[in-house]
């Protein structure tokens, strides 16, 4: 997959974590590191990343989605993902570009599975259907205690529908993220995101470099 000389093969890299861990801040550093190491990088996000998927994102995160059933939320996450994979992720990977994505299916297990309580086996059925075996090559999980992360997210303001959830919801989300990360050490690194932005950026790049060397 990686680095056999000057040419780099396409990688699918995902960043995960609960609100307030600094994913958006650090996305640019991850992309910059990969560019410096010869990758042609496209940065994207989920839900979203393609026009129809962004429209679904508005529905999912906006006030209009508040009364949505948990199953409808799950299906819309995968509808957005199907569109994103079809329009952006797969074509980019086929063209040899590295895709850096702000959240992917680990988020569905964490939020819809852990947070909302949907059976993880039902999520796995949709994952198989929509991804047909496509998995991230590398996943960086930014992790911090819920109270630290939520205090940061709230200080930022402009909360979306998920950010309005209570701490217990995010404790469940974090627990599933950590469990999945520990079950997939071949592709995932857990990065302590409780420090300053500079410290976190250094840890993140070290984890990325270590994963990318394998
Ligand atoms: P963010 O990208 O600004 O962090 O917001 C996206 C929100 O959507 C975030 O609260 C997590 C949530 N989400 C899910 O619940 N399930 C998913 O599969 C994805 C990709 C995101």
pLDDT digits (tens, 9 = 90+) for 104-155: 999 999 999 999 999 999 999 999 999 999 999 999 999 999 999 999 988 8
Tell me which residues have their CB closer than 6 angstroms to ligand 1. Answer: 19, 45-47, 61, 77, 102-103, 107-108, 111-112, 162
* CA 134 to ligand 1 centroid distance, Å: 19
78, 107 in Cβ contact below 8 A?
no
Which residue out of 76, 103, 156, 166 has the highest number of ligand 1 atoms within 8 Å of its CB and is therefore the one to mutate? 103
The token pair that represents 46 in the structure block: 């989920």
Q: How far apart are CA 2 and CA 8, in angstroms?
A: 6
Which residue out of 76, 162, 164, 193 has the highest number of ligand 1 atoms within 8 Å of its CB and is therefore the one to mutate? 162
- Give the count of beta carbons closer than 10 Å to the beta carbon of residue 119: 9
Alpha helices, DSSP H, located in the chain: 23-36, 51-61, 70-84, 90-94, 105-107, 120-131, 146-156, 167-183, 197-213
- Contact partners, residue 24, CB within 8 Å, separation at least 6: 102
Q: Is the dihedral of CA 38, 47, 164, 106 positive or negative?
A: negative
Can you tell me which atom of ligand 1 is nearest the CA of 108?
Answer: 18
Note down pLDDT in tens along the chain; length 214 residues.
544 344 468 999 999 999 999 998 999 999 999 999 999 999 999 999 999 999 999 999 998 888 899 999 999 999 999 999 999 999 999 999 999 999 999 999 999 999 999 999 999 999 999 999 999 999 999 999 999 999 998 888 877 888 778 899 999 999 999 999 999 999 999 999 999 999 999 999 999 998 877 7
**What does pTM read for this prediction?**
0.94
């Amino acid at each position: 997959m990686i680095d056999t000389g000057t040419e780099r093969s396409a990688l699918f890299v995902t960043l995960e974590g609960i609100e307030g861990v600094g994913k958006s801040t650090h996305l640019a550093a991850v992309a910059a590191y990969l560019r410096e190491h010869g990758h042609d990088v496209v940065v994207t996000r989920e839900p979203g990343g393609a026009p129809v998927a962004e429209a679904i994102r508005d529905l999912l995160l906006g006030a209009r989605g508040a009364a949505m059933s948990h199953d409808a939320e799950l299906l819309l996450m995968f509808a957005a993902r199907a569109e994103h994979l079809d329009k952006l992720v797969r074509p980019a990977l086929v063209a040899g570009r590295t895709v850096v994505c702000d959240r992917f299916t680990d988020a569905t297990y964490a939020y819809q599975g852990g947070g909302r309580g949907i059976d993880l086996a039902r999520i796995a059925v949709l994952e198989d259907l929509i991804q047909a075996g496509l998995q991230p090559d590398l996943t960086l999980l930014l992790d911090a205690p819920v109270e630290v992360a939520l205090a940061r997210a709230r200080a930022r303001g402009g909360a979306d529908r998920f950010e309005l959830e209570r701490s217990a919801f995010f404790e469940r989300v974090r627990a599933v993220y950590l469990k999945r990360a520990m079950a997939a050490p071949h592709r995932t690194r857990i990065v302590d995101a409780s420090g300053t932005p500079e410290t976190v950026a250094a840890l993140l790049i070290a984890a990325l470099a270590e994963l990318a060397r394998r």
